[in-house]
Amino acid sequence: MKFIRTLLALGFMLASGSALAADGSELFAKDCAGCHGADAKADTPAAKAMKTPALVGHDATGTVEHVRQSPKHAALSKKLSDEDLQAIADHLAAM
């Protein structure tokens, strides 16, 4: 019986950990698409006016540090964790 409880507890912990993982796609849509475009191609009027770079297929390396150091991303940097930013970077790299 103790073995079954242990397996159930382990299963619950693994399931809850997955549920808590950041969803890069959702975070990008909510926090980045306004400037970089929903498709990350920066082809919106706002992106063109701000000279925002396209991010489609962007290499995920260094993204967290770039956002943390960029004055343009100061508000975003305060709002998102490193894990959130990495999830967004991974999502962009997979596009």
CATH fold, domain 22-94, is Cytochrome Bc1 Complex; Chain D, domain 2 (1.10.760)
pLDDT score, position 6: 45
Q: What's the rounded Cα separation, in Å, for the pair 51 and 49? A: 6
Does residue 12 register a pLDDT over 60? no
pLDDT score, position 40: 94
Asked if 95 and 56 touch (Cβ cutoff 8 Å), the reply is yes
Report, as an integer, the average pLDDT of 16-27.
71
Instruction: From residue 8, give the alpha-carbon distance in Å to each of 31, 34, 41, 79.
Output: 36, 42, 44, 35
Pick from 8, 95, 5: nearest CA to 59: 95
At 45-84, the pLDDT tens digits run: 989 999 999 998 888 888 899 999 999 999 999 999 999 9
| Residue 10: partners with Cβ closer than 8 Å, 6 or more residues away | none
